[in-house]
Amino acid sequence: MNILSIETSADETGVTIVEALGDFPTATYNVLGNAVRTQIEMHREYGGIFPAMAKREHALALVPLLEAAVAEHGYKKESISDIEPELEEKIRTILEREPSLADNLLTFHKEHGPLPIELVAVTSGPGLEPALWVGVNFARALSLLWNVPMVPVNHMEGHILASIFDVEEDDELTRIEFPALSLLISGGHTELVRMDDWAQYEKIGQTRDDAVGEAFDKVARMMGLPYPGGPEIGARAKRARLKNLPQFTELPLPMLHSGDLDMSFSGLKTAVRYAIEGKELTEEQKEALSRDFEDVVTEILLKKTSAAIEDCGAHTLIVGGGVSASPHLRHEFNKYFLEHYPDISVYFPVPGLSTDNSLMIALAGHARLSEALAPRATDLIRADGNRSLSNE
Ligand code: KG4
Ligand code: ZN
């Protein structure tokens, strides 16, 4: 079956067309078209995502990205389509807050007709609610226009599946052994999730305040580095290690011995603030501080993850979300698990699938095929900024 997936939960707009051959979880996936647009440059001056701008940019990007995905797919339609006035009216009502998105979509539809798609998958949460609504309503409109079912996807489930998607080898999901543990580390989330089977999630640990990615972004901002902070800090930390720079400051390891699987990162951020207060940092001091910070974050994540592995007797560790793009984190996790838990398989996403993308939403949509709604029932679908894996 062909799946069209849409991602608009944060600052990446993504549209992907994927062919799924077979049933989940043993299907082979062929990416037929994939188009993504990042808003990072626009949010830079705010040091983080500015929600109203994110929403507007998603609305502007969706139809051009759909065009690009279709062009890559090579789909050509034979004749021009007419739209029933009643259907056009419904589409305009669904997209009433985004009138130009409605215009663009209707023009697209008149030119292309219904695409050869059997399922529309969209992120409905968690994320920035105004941004999520744009994607959800766009997906509802497509579902009605093409008369195909639609499935609302949990963004975090997408991250988990992206981490075990073997796009470089066989385009399949890796056959993992349960119970599995997922460490999800992104701009909005830091959680340890136990999985006893596909689609069975139990959150067993989480941050009590900032997410790891958020801590990277905030600490970077304090040092005058651009958003997103993760790659900026990572590059400087690497230079500090190569130069063997001395420690800049001793940072705390909050909640390391709390006896549970929860974490905290806001104290770390405050410690960085005190350490640099009133100082004009040299580039080498920034490098050293980046390394100190990255080391402490890695240590906290490693300790809590290994405690969680013991707690649930997991055979598999899946690390996902934007922060899993960190080469240092990946290296340290692989080294630590090889040494201490050689029987546990550790998975990180292939490059490009760590940060937000819509391919992962197609994978999660396929996993949740049985939950798809008929086009006329899709007005029940809501964006939910706080959607949680625990009650899926
Ligand atoms: O999953 P994601 O793309 O979006 C959310 O769902 O939040 O994660 C974005 C986060 C940002 O905080 C960014 O700083 C962080 O992932 N990030 C990284 C790296 N690349 C992105 N953190 C550390 N090292 C990286 N290389
Ligand atoms: Zn994400």
Find the mean pLDDT for residues 265-280.
Answer: 96
Rounded CA separation 296/291 (Å): 9
Measured in Å, residue 28 CA sits from the centre of ligand 2 at 23
Single out the residue of 309, 300, 356 nearest to residue 329, CA to CA.
300
Ligand 1 near 240 CB (within 6 A): no
CA 216–ligand 1 middle distance (angstroms): 8
Q: What is the chain's mean pLDDT, rounded? A: 95
pLDDT tens, position by position, 10-58: 999 999 999 999 999 999 999 999 999 999 998 888 888 899 999 999 9
Residue 339 CA to its chain's centroid (Å): 29
**Is residue 193 left, alpha or beta, with left meaning phi > 0 and alpha meaning psi from -120 to 50?**
beta
Q: Residue 7: CB within 6 Å of ligand 1?
A: no
The pLDDT assigned to 392 comes to 79
Q: What is the pLDDT of residue 169?
A: 78
Q: Is 163 in the pocket of ligand 1 (CB under 6 A)?
A: no
Hey, which of 330, 355, 360, 361 would you mutate to test ligand 1's pocket, going by the most ligand atoms within 8 Å of its Cβ? 355
Query: What per-residue confidence (pLDDT) applies to 167?
Result: 77
Peptide bond preceding 349 in cis form (omega within 30 of 0): no
Report the helix count and the strand count for the chain, using DSSP H and E: 12, 12
Residue 186 CA to ligand 2 centre (angstroms): 6
Q: Over range 115-133, report the average pLDDT.
A: 97
What pLDDT is stored for residue 78 in this prediction?
A: 66
Distance CA 360, CA 155 (A): 8
Atom from ligand 1 closest to the CA of residue 155? 6
- 80 confidence band (pLDDT: 50, 70, 90): low
Please report which confidence band the pLDDT of residue 320 belongs to, taking 50, 70 and 90 as the band edges: very high
Is residue 98 in contact with ligand 1, taking CB distance under 6 Å? no
Amino acid 113: pLDDT:
87
For a pLDDT cut of 90, what percent of the chain falls above it?
Answer: 91
Per DSSP, the residues of 17-47 read EEEEESSTTT-EEEEEEEEEEE-HHHHGGGT
Residue 103 CA to ligand 1 center (angstroms) comes to 33
- The answer to whether residues 254 and 265 touch, using CB atoms and an 8 Å cutoff, is yes
95-99, 167-171, 237-241, 255-259: range with lowest mean pLDDT = 167-171
- Ligand 1 in contact with 228 (CB < 6 A)? yes
Report the distance separating Cα 207 and Cα 192, nearest Å.
9
**Ligand 1 binding pocket includes 187 (Cβ within 6 Å):** yes
Whether 79 shows a pLDDT value over 80: the answer reads: no
| Separation CA 373–CA 144 (nearest Å) | 11
Distance CA 107, CA 89 (A): 14
Residue 33 Cβ contacting ligand 1 at under 6 Å: no
Give the tokens for residue 233. 């800090």
Q: Does the beta carbon of 229 lie inside 6 Å of ligand 1?
A: yes
Confidence of residue 193 (pLDDT cuts 50, 70, 90): very high
End-to-end CA distance of the chain: 24
Between the CA of 252 and the centroid of ligand 1 the distance, in Å, is: 22
